[in-house]
Structures are given as structure tokens and as C-alpha cells.
Amino acid sequence: MMSGAALSLASLAAPAGASDRYGQRPPVVLSPDLSAPWVMQLGGQAAPRGGVVYRTQPRSVRTPAYQARTPRAETRRVTNAALAAPRPKPAPVRQMDPQFLPQTVAYDGDQKPGTIIIDTSQRFLYFVEGNGQARRYGVGVGKEGHAWSGTERISRKAEWPDWRPPAEMIKRVREKEGRILPVHMAGGPENPLGARALYLGSTLYRIHGTNQPWTIGNAVSSGCIRMRNEDVTELYERVQVGAKVIVM
């Protein structure tokens, strides 16, 4: 009987002992930091009802030193670099001296109207009009070693003429300047003979236009007389084949 009662008391006391044993179980916390254990013991802290607390402040995370560039920041950096870069100097503006623009001047010489007189030293071409007047144009003339003088007649007129530089000219330019001239160039805006040409007798010389109007007033040609395209076109309409041309 005693042993049975003892066993009965022992069985009744067992639940109470288990409750006492685990009644002070320390609280636990779930960590939001996935690099740490997902359950952590909180020793020495009172647990709230239910026995679980959640950490409200995560561990401090060190910000990486490198930060990705945003498109806006990259654009600003490129723009600032472009503004800081030195700007190239603008190309010089090529202009012709206004004194070489066409104008009507007094003429008291003895040449007949329709005659052309070219003063190579002053870089002027005169078209005698009569009534004591002449139309004066600025011209480019032969450079040193290519200047000439004499009297010729207009043997032919051509609009937008082709250019066939003579063989000696091709050789000279290649040897002195290193440029290779074409054997033939069709007429057009890129052609150095310009918009019109007046051929002088049987020579290789012409009065012609140019695609380099800023050279008017200078000794730059291989002997031809060059004019602005506007000016040679005006002269072309007024001069006749057979007209006398005096080069001084």
C-alpha cells in the first residue's frame, strides 16, 4: 500500500516539477540579420507575453565605399569635362580687300570702247566703256616668275570651262608643292577656272573666274588673270570675241 501511495504521489508531483523546471525559460528573439542565427537567446531579459521578442533595430550595416554612378551624374561629369576642354580657335575669315570690288572710274586714254586693259602692278582690269569712263575690276595676276605683258585678242569664250593644266604646270606643282594636279577637270564650282573664261589668242593664258575669291588683289596664278565669278560673268556678257586685251 505504501509503495502504491508513494508512486501515486510521485506521479502527481512530476508535472509540478516539470513546470517549475521550465518556468523561467529565457526569452528568444528572431534576428532580421540573415547572416546571423535566426533564433537568439536573450539572457537576463524579461520575456513579453508569449515568450518571443523581435529586434526592432537591425545591426548597423557599413555603407560600401563604392557608389554606382547614376546617368545624371555621369552626364554632368561628361558635360563638365567638355566645358573644361580647350576650344579650337575659329578658322580665319578670308575676305577680299574692298578696293578690288568693281566700280566705274574716269578714263582719259586713247583705247576704243570694248578694249580691256590690265594693270598687273596695281591688280586692276579696266573695260573701256567710252564717254570718258571705264569699268574697273580687281584681279589676281601671275606670281613671281610667271608675270607677263603684251597685247592679245579674245579668241574664245566659255561658260563653266573645263580645265586641262599643261604638262609643265603639272610637273612644276608636283616638284615644288607636292600636289598632283588632274590631267582634266570638268567645269563646275570646284573648278579653279570658275564660272567663265576668256581665252587670250593662242596662248595658254585666260581671263577667268576663281573658286578662291579671297586671292583677288594678289600675285598668285601661273600667268592667268583671275576675277571673282560675279565679275568675270559681268565682263563676259559685255566683251566680244576679237576684243583687244592689253596686259601691262
Spatial CB neighbours of 198, under 8 Å, sequence gap ≥ 6:
154, 156, 157, 206, 207, 208, 232, 235, 236, 239, 245
- Annotated catalytic residue, options 123, 135, 136, 208: 208
* Alpha carbon distance 12, 1 (integer Å): 17
* Alpha carbon distance 203, 181 (integer Å): 20
Which amino acid is located at 163 in the chain? W
SS3 readout for 191-211: CCCCCEEEEECCCCCEEECCC
* Alpha carbon distance 98, 128 (integer Å): 21
* Alpha carbon distance 136, 117 (integer Å): 10
Active site residue 119: no
Backbone conformation region of residue 223, classed left if phi is above 0, alpha if psi is from -120 to 50, else beta = left
* Alpha carbon distance 218, 124 (integer Å): 10
**Cell matching residue 155:** 579668241
Active site residue 224: yes
* Alpha carbon distance 210, 190 (integer Å): 9
Catalytic site positions: 208, 224
